[in-house]
């Protein structure tokens, strides 16, 4: 799991496709505050955050990488609260695969066919992948809430001390 806050302006984001509540963008490039450019690559975003990846949009973009699936899970414009929406398509896919394979194992066990190793192995692996994806999502959201609290606390201190 990797959480990458990137502050800057979106230069380009090409929409590849949109389906099942997510938009997948290719070739996402962001110009950082220092003038350099960072190429993010292929990124998935939930419907609520899909309009954020438009050229010219400024702010802090929160990208994540969980098991090779990159995505945008939060956005904060300067001086505003963050907008959070986590893309869950891969997580749902692993959950469905786990249910189907473990269901197939239970069907085989209820009959006289014995224990099928392939569906059992696939079911266990998909369950583990789903648990990793879900746990990573919860950890990312926890870190984001913690960062928001720390920023609000530092802003309050600056106001009280007369700096802001």
- Mean pLDDT, residues 133-152 taken together: 80
Q: Would you say residue 79 has pLDDT above 90?
A: no
- Mean pLDDT, residues 120-132 taken together: 90
- CA atoms of 82 and 105, how far apart (whole Å): 44
Fold of the 1-87 domain: OB fold (Dihydrolipoamide Acetyltransferase, E2P) (2.40.50)
pLDDT of residue 55: 92
Determine the 3-state secondary structure of 15 from DSSP: strand
- Mean of pLDDT over the chain: 85
Q: Would you say residue 74 has pLDDT above 70?
A: yes
Specify burial of residue 22 (Cβ count, 10 A radius: 0-12, 13-18, 19+): buried
Note the pTM of the prediction, 2 decimals: 0.76
What is the tens place of the pLDDT at every residue in 16-58? 988 888 899 988 999 998 989 999 889 999 988 988 999 999 9
């Amino acid at each position: 799991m990797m959480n990458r806050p990137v502050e800057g302006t979106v230069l380009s984001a090409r929409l590849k496709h949109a389906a099942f509540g997510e938009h997948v963008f290719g070739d996402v490039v962001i110009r950082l505050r220092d003038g350099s450019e960072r190429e993010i690559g292929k990124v998935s975003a939930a419907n609520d955050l899909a309009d954020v990846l438009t050229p010219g949009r400024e702010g802090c973009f929160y990208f994540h990488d969980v098991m090779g699936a990159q995505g945008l899970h939060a956005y904060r414009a300067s001086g505003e609260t963050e907008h959070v929406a986590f893309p869950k398509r891969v997580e749902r896919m692993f959950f469905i695969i786990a249910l189907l394979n473990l269901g197939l194992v239970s069907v085989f066990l209820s009959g006289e066919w014995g224990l099928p190793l392939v569906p059992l192995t696939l079911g266990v692996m998909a369950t583990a992948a789903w648990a990793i994806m879900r746990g990573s999502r919860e950890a990312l959201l926890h870190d984001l809430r913690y960062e928001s609290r720390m920023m609000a606390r530092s802003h309050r201190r600056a106001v009280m001390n007369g700096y802001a």
